[in-house]
Structures are given as C-alpha cells and as structure tokens.
C-alpha cells in the first residue's frame, strides 16, 4: 500500500450498532476521492463485538488500520493511541466513531489546509444533545476561555484536521491527564475554525457519562489555567477581610457600646467560613498533587494489545506507547 496522505482517526468504545454506518460512509468517502487515505480505528477496550467487527474489516480491506488497546483507557488516550499509529504524511483527520462528526467534511477541511493552515478545527454551530448537556457545554467553554492562559476556541471539540508536524508535536507531549483540544491550541501554528452543525448519533447511546465529562472539564481547567490557584489566594484574602471586618465590629461594640456578641452564632460563622476556605484550598492543592503523582509514575499512556496494518495482524512490543509518553 502506498503511504497515505491523510489518516482518518476514530476512537471506538462499544460502537457495534453504529460501526456498519461508520464503515459505509468512510468507504464511500474514500472511493469518491483521489487522495490516498487510511482509516485508523482504535478499539478502547470495547465489551461488545466492536473489536470483532474491526478485525473482520481490517483483514479484508487494507485501507483500515486497527489498533486494539489492552483495556478501556478513555476517549482522550484512545485518540492519542490513534494519533501515534497514524501514518498520514500530510494530515490527520480526527472524528468520533458515532458519526456526530460527519466524515464527509474531509474535503472541505483539506481545502482549508491547502490555504496554509496547520489546524482546521470544527466549531459547533448547533448541537442536538439534551438541554442539560447543551447548557453545560455552553457554560464550560465560556468559563474555560475566560480563565485559560491559552486561547481555546469556543464550541470546538476534538473534531479537526491537523498537519503532520502538529501531530508529531502532540505525540511528543507526555501529559497523562490529556485535554487534546487545549494541547492543540497550545501548540500554536496557523489555525482556523470551520462551522458545522453537529449531528445526532446514528445509533446507540453516548458513552461519555457526566462523570467522564466532569473529569474532562477538570483536565481542561487545571491543565490550561492558573485560575484555581489564584482563586484560592483570593478566597483566602476575602475570608481574612471578612474576619477583620467582623473583628472591628465586635471591638467597636465592646469599646463604644459595652456590648460583646455572645452565643454560638458568631463562633459557628467563623468556623464554617474558615473551614470551608481551608477545605476548598486543600481540594485544589490535591488536584494538582494528584496530577503530579500520576505523571511522576512515568507509566505508558496506553497499552496496545495488537494491531492490524495493511491487512496483517501484529502484536507490538508497545514501543509506540513509550514514544507517546
């Protein structure tokens, strides 16, 4: 097989229902273009028959390159594994396996890259999730943009086309708690947005739970913002200010009105105020310590169980995972 110009990277987790639709649309897309394209599918430890379908496909169609992880590592690390395995010499096109990111936009993104851009990221003009998720995404992106030291575009996810050199830089970045859209912005180079309407899932249910979404949001905030630390300092200053004001009021009542505030109310107020500030400070420090702890272990970001490349089954020695780390 000729070296591909473009790699389409799609992480999959329990996507057996949507998989046939994904393959159909990707095959139709590749057949309609003159570009040399490979599709890198990453199985993130699926518990259904997603891996079996991937295996059958890759062994019969050499354009599909499959990576099977040893367990479920999570979306961001599965995507990282796909970026490490992709061989596209010009660009990598990142999509979700549920087809909410339409692969048919590849020619439009590629056209933008021909204008000299290294990153073409998708901007969601309209979402079709439930109102709670839509509201949460809307507020999070605006909060992150307001506090981040990196200019992370509003309403842009992982759906993007990146140049080979951007992919190489991403593969060299060792972050364990990954927030790829933030890392992509941090790298720099020439970037532009492309508006699109995010589709509904073609089948199945979302695998991103609210817990996972909160974890992703935490990674974005703690990895690309100094706000938590500065907020802790400001909260400490405010609490000290409130305590001083309260002390002055009590002192004034004692000196000028011969009246001292008594009872448990005042004591309770002070205890709750300072205990709350201290616990919040410990929690924020704990988040940073936890990230340092996991990063310092130096473990591989992911473990590849096996791959299928150009229709051939391989059992790698996980050298690629060390390189990704």
Higher-confidence position of 99 and 138 = 99
pLDDT of residue 127: 62
pTM metric for this prediction: 0.73
> Three-state SS across the chain?
CCCCCEEEEEEECCCCCCHHHHHHHHHHHHHHCCCCEEEEEEECCCCCCHHHHHHHHHHHCCCEEEEEECCCCCHHHHHHHHHHHCCCCCEEEECCCCCCCCHHHHHHHHHHHCCCCCEEEEEEEECCCCHHHHHHHHHHHHHHHHHECCCCCCCEEEEEEEEHHHHHHHHHCCCCCCCHHHHHHHHCCCEEEEEEECCCCCCCCCCCCHHHHHHHHHHHHHHCECHHHHHHHHHHHHHHHHHHHHHHHHHHHHHHCCCCCCCHHHHHHHHHHHHHHHHHHHHHHHHHHHHHHHHHCCCCCCCEEEEEECCEEECCCCHHHHHHC
pLDDT of residue 62: 85
pLDDT of residue 257: 67
Asked if residue 184 and residue 111 are part of one domain, the reply reads yes
Tell me, yes or no, whether 276 lies in a domain.
yes
Say which range, 127-131, 160-164, 254-258, 283-287, has the weakest mean pLDDT: 127-131
Asked if residue 114 and residue 32 are part of one domain, the reply reads yes
Stretch 193-215: mean pLDDT, rounded?
Answer: 68
**Most confident option among 132-141, 164-173, 205-214:** 164-173
Asked if residue 136 and residue 30 are part of one domain, the reply reads yes
- Decide the pairing of beta strands 91-94 and 64-69: unpaired
Residue 229 has pLDDT above 60, yes or no: yes
Residue 299 has pLDDT above 90, yes or no: no
pLDDT of residue 116: 87
Asked if residue 142 and residue 67 are part of one domain, the reply reads yes
pLDDT of residue 68: 92
Say which range, 11-25, 55-69, 123-137, has the weakest mean pLDDT: 123-137
Asked if residue 129 and residue 19 are part of one domain, the reply reads yes
Residue 36 has pLDDT above 80, yes or no: yes
Q: Say which CATH number the domain at 57 has.
A: 3.90.550.10
Tell me, yes or no, whether 48 lies in a domain.
yes
Segment 93-136, tens digit of pLDDT: 998 888 888 888 899 899 888 898 999 988 877 666 666 766 77
Mean pLDDT of the chain: 79
Tell me, yes or no, whether 179 lies in a domain.
yes
Tell me, yes or no, whether 305 lies in a domain.
yes
pLDDT of residue 320: 46
Tell me, yes or no, whether 249 lies in a domain.
yes
Total domain count, the chain: 2
pLDDT of residue 246: 72
Asked if residue 146 and residue 275 are part of one domain, the reply reads no
Tell me, yes or no, whether 58 lies in a domain.
yes
Tell me the residue range of the domain where 286 lies: 227-296
Asked if residue 267 and residue 144 are part of one domain, the reply reads no
Asked if residue 236 and residue 110 are part of one domain, the reply reads no
pLDDT of residue 289: 80
pLDDT of residue 96: 86
Asked if residue 209 and residue 257 are part of one domain, the reply reads no
Of all residues in the chain, the percent with pLDDT exceeding 90 is 10
Asked if residue 314 and residue 217 are part of one domain, the reply reads yes
pLDDT of residue 210: 62
Q: What is the CA radius of gyration of the chain?
A: 25
Tell me, yes or no, whether 1 lies in a domain.
no
pLDDT of residue 83: 92
pLDDT of residue 227: 75
Q: Are 120 and 111 in contact (CB under 8 A)?
A: no
Residue 40 has pLDDT above 90, yes or no: yes
Asked if residue 137 and residue 274 are part of one domain, the reply reads no
Higher-confidence position of 281 and 134 = 281
Asked if residue 211 and residue 69 are part of one domain, the reply reads yes
């Amino acid at each position: 097989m000729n070296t591909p110009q473009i790699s389409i990277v799609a992480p999959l987790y329990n996507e057996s229902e949507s998989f046939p639709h994904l393959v159909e649309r990707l095959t139709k897309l590749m057949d309609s273009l003159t570009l040399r394209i490979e599709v890198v599918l990453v199985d993130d430890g699926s518990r259904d028959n997603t891996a079996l379908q991937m295996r059958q496909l890759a062994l019969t169609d050499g354009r599909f390159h499959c990576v099977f992880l040893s367990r479920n590592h999570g979306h961001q690390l599965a995507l990282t594994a796909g970026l490490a395995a992709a061989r596209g010499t010009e660009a990598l096109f990142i999509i979700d396996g549920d087809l909410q990111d339409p692969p048919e936009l590849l020619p439009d993104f590629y056209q933008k890259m021909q204008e000299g851009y290294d990153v073409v990221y998708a901007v969601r003009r309209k979402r079709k999730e439930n109102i709670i998720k839509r509201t949460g995404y809307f507020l999070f992106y605006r909060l992150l943009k307001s506090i981040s030291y990196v200019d992370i575009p509003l309403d842009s996810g992982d759906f993007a086309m990146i140049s080979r050199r951007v992919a190489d830089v991403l593969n060299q970045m060792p972050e364990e708690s990954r927030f790829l859209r933030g890392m992509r912005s941090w790298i720099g180079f020439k970037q532009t947005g492309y508006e699109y309407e995010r589709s509904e899932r073609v089948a199945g249910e979302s695998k991103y739970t609210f817990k996972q979404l909160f974890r992703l949001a935490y990674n974005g905030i703690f990895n690309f913002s100094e706000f938590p630390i500065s907020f802790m300092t400001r909260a400490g200053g405010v609490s000290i200010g409130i305590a001083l004001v309260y002390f002055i009021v009590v002192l004034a009542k004692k000196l000028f009105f011969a009246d001292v505030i008594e009872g448990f109310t005042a004591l309770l107020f002070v205890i709750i105020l300072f205990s709350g500030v201290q616990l919040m400070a410990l929690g924020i420090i704990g988040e940073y310590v936890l990230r340092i702890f996991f990063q310092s272990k130096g473990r591989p970001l992911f473990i590849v169980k096996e791959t299928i490349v150009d229709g051939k089954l391989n059992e790698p020695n996980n050298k690629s995972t060390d390189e990704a780390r």
